[in-house]
Structure 1
Amino acid sequence: MNSRGRYLLVAGLVVIGLAVSVFAARFGDGAGQSASPVVGAAVPDLTLPDLDGDGSLNLADLSASHDVVVVNFFASWCLQCRNEHADLISTADAYHDRSVRFLGVAFQDDPARAIAFLDELGRGDSTQYLSDPGSRAAIEFGIFGVPETVFISGGRIVGKFLGETDALTLTGALERILTGQAIESRQVGEFRQSRPDRA
């Protein structure tokens, strides 16, 4: 092999090595995995107002009184949020008697539009809907876009799903958490990182 051929071979191997490194950094040890720096952190001591303005809820207090808290960040402008909404409601209702509480937090959304979204698609009886003034909760939970779903247990953030989820995926995660097993933080579906008017 001449020197030009060796050069092309080495250059090709370098490009392949870089591609593998980028893939590993993006997806972790397996496809769909995404390490989150907030996993393992204590649940933030935040009080968020009800979306309807009828009260408020402290996340740390709620976590102390339930085995698992599931916090789903959604927005009226998010198609994936619309797609997963019914599965979130059905899963919340199915786990209501097992000390699991679901919260829906409006992300970068006008409260009136978020309320209209819920009025159209329905509200779960086992889910409380909150607003996030100043995106405080989104910042504390390291939210990149919507939908994102955060799992809290024992006063700590134990997992995080990025993207559109479904009842089967949620059920699998909850069963693992309730039986003391770890869950992977990963991308489970597509999600949006900004509002359409900010894209």
Structure 2
Amino acid sequence: MTTTDNLTAARTKRWRTIRWIALLIVAATVGLGAVFGSRLGQDPTLVDSPLIGKPASTRPLPYLEREGTLSLADLQGQVVVVNFWASWCTPCRAEHPALTAAADNYQAKGVTVVGVNYQDKRGAATAFLDELGRGDSRAYRYVTDPDSRLALDFGVFGIPETFFLDRSGTIVAKITGPVSHSLMSGTLDAILAGRQPRSHTEGTVQPGPGR
């Protein structure tokens, strides 16, 4: 074989290699496009949580403003909204009217809201409620979370975070970030109708002072 033949064979082999690499790149691109394309049109705020479908912690917690404790087990048979909040949390102030409105509007349908005060001072927490309102005490319960034990059970990283429990005490939805009137009503209406609600991420959360 002459030198020219050797060069020709080398070029042919090189082009075959380049062509196979190009085909692999195209195939990979098409595959990724199919994956991401399948997500087009979906709400980017929709998220999954590993806690969905699992029973909620029944750890008893002391009430914020009165004697005694409350466990989520005490509320089985009701739809329960568990909201982690604090006086130092800016988004918590923005979402508070939606929570109190939901507690008042859905009380007759068997819904209870539990506000879990997170890494806060009792005086600051009660001042927050004095300013923004408490909602109906029969439908909105406020508890404290010493040592953030319940927050750890729920995997809370920052606040606000809100969890929705069905009547059996199973976690069926989670909203990360501040809730709104429409999110509250949409999620509660779905649960009460026996439909699976969707979990969302709305805005950002604030880590606790100790993080």
Candidates 199, 202, 210, aligned match of 1:185 = 199
Structure 2 distance, partners of 1:82, 1:193, is 12
Secondary structure of the equivalent of 1:159?
A: strand
Secondary structure of the equivalent of 1:155?
A: coil
Structure 2 distance, partners of 1:66, 1:92, is 16
Structure 1 distance, partners of 2:169, 2:108, is 19
Secondary structure of the equivalent of 1:158?
A: strand
Letter in 2 for 1:115: T
Partners of 1:106 and 1:132 within 8 A in 2: yes
Q: Partner residue of 2:180?
A: 166
Q: Which structure has the greater CA radius of gyration? A: 2
Matches within 5 A, 1:23-42: 30-42=43-55
Letter in 2 for 1:146: I
Partners of 1:67 and 1:178 within 8 A in 2: no
Query: In the comparison of the two structures, how many residue pairs are matched?
Result: 190
Candidates 58, 70, 90, aligned match of 2:71 = 58
Length-normalised TM-score, structure 2: 0.77
Letter in 1 for 2:200: R
Does 2:121 correspond to 1:107?
Answer: no
Secondary structure of the equivalent of 2:195?
A: coil
Length-normalised TM-score, structure 1: 0.81
Matches within 5 A, 1:20-99: 30-62=43-75, 65-99=76-110
Secondary structure of the equivalent of 1:95?
A: helix
Partners of 1:158 and 1:182 within 8 A in 2: yes
1:81 offset after TM fit, Å? 0.4
Partners of 2:160 and 2:206 within 8 A in 1: no
Secondary structure of the equivalent of 1:182?
A: coil
Q: Partner residue of 1:155?
A: 169
Q: Partner residue of 2:4?
A: none
Structure 2 distance, partners of 1:39, 1:177, is 13
Residue-by-residue CA offset, 1:141-164 (whole Å, 9 max, x unaligned): 121211111000122111110011
* Percent of paired sites with the same residue: 41
**How much is the aligned-residue C-alpha RMSD, in angstroms?**
3.2
Letter in 1 for 2:59: L
Letter in 1 for 2:198: E
Letter in 2 for 1:136: R
Partners of 2:82 and 2:162 within 8 A in 1: yes
